[in-house]
A = this chain, B = another copy of it.
Amino acid sequence: MDFHVHILGSNSAIADHGRHPTSQVVSISNHYMLVDCGEGTQERLKEFKVKWFRIDHIFISHLHGDHYYGLIGLLTTYNLLKRTQPLTIYSPLLLKDIIALQLKASQTQLNYELKFIDTKDDGQHLLLENEQLEVHSFPLYHKIPTTGFLFKQKEGERRLLVEKVEGLPIERTDYALLKKGIDITDKEGNRINAEAVTVAGSSPKTYAFCSDTTYNKSLVSHITDADLLYHEATFLENDRERAEETKHSTALQAAQIAKQSNVKKLLIGHFSSRYPDLSDLLKEAQSVFTNTALAEEGEVFEV
């Protein structure tokens, strides 16, 4: 089943070296979700031709500006372009007041329903669930309340074994039941065991997003065995002191978390503007965790 992460920005704090602040689109089947929304995100969405009108859920990790200053612009652009379908934002509660005040200042009444769900950094919480996916928040360790997000695909439907169902006296509508693992009775009254005529669907994948955080082993329990982990790597080990002071991680620390969590692949991002060239960050992470990539703008990663 289709599960992708589209990087819109992965610089820290200030846009620089052609890099922009944090934002990603996570898509699972037909569900598009925006994760963080730094200034200029609406421009990146258009630049990278993301189907941005399909986004119905926006997750904001914390209220440092480089993770949400682009939100109000996106919300009002949706409005100008006559969006009507509802939109839900998951974030620390104060964001609701900020957006409300800005809409009041411009005397704007949105054409669509905007709902806010408060995130809490006191443990893991289920934020969203539907037939295809679950999204959970979990605590990160930063200067202000911050959460990561875990995107979990649900188990895919079983696949029919064509050679076993061909010629059976059943209706096409029975196929859907069998794919769900439900036994049926055919037109001649014989019981058909779903497991005998299907095989398990694709195994469900997991993506963990850790925006801004100091190195903390408590993360591991939330992200163990993830197929893909995004972990911030703002600094090199050379600048470890600065990382600790600002509650950020080094590339080495991100890789250590990836290794301890037994994830399959690591993406690093939230790069400090002090590094025009990112190759040393990549090398540092790969020295501990080989399957690491840079979360560079415009890149799309399959989970």
- Within 8 Å of chain B (Cβ to Cβ): is A61? no
A71 nearest CB neighbor, chain B only: B69
Is there contact, CB below 8 Å, between A63 and B144? no
Is there contact, CB below 8 Å, between B80 and A76? no
Chain A, range 48-99, C-beta contacts under 8 Å to B: 63-65, 69-70, 72-73, 76-77, 80-81, 92, 94-95, 97-98
Given B13, B15, B80, which contacts A43 in the complex, CB threshold below 8 Å? B15
- 1/0 contact string of A26-65 vs chain B (CB within 8 Å): 0000000000000110110000000000000000000111
In the complex, what residues of B have CB within 8 A of residue A144's CB?
105-107
Given B14, B98, B143, which contacts A107 in the complex, CB threshold below 8 Å? B143
In the complex, what residues of B have CB within 8 A of residue A13's CB?
77, 80
Given A40-B43, A98-B105, A106-B144, is A72 in contact with B80 using a C-beta cutoff of 8 Å?
A: no
Most buried by B among A70, A76, A97, A143: A76
Output the least CB separation between A68 and chain B (Å): 9
- Within 8 Å of chain B (Cβ to Cβ): is A287? no
Bound Cα distance from A39 to B64, whole angstroms? 16
Given A63-B106, A105-B94, A106-B63, is A42 in contact with B15 using a C-beta cutoff of 8 Å?
A: yes
Q: Which residues of A contact B (CB under 8 A)?
A: 13-15, 39-40, 42-43, 63-65, 69-70, 72-73, 76-77, 80-81, 92, 94-95, 97-98, 101-102, 104-107, 143-144
Q: A13-B77, A69-B72 are in contact. List 19 more A-B contacts (CB 8 A).
A: A14-B81, A39-B40, A39-B73, A40-B43, A63-B106, A65-B72, A65-B73, A65-B106, A69-B73, A92-B105, A94-B101, A94-B104, A94-B105, A95-B105, A97-B101, A98-B98, A98-B101, A101-B101, A105-B144
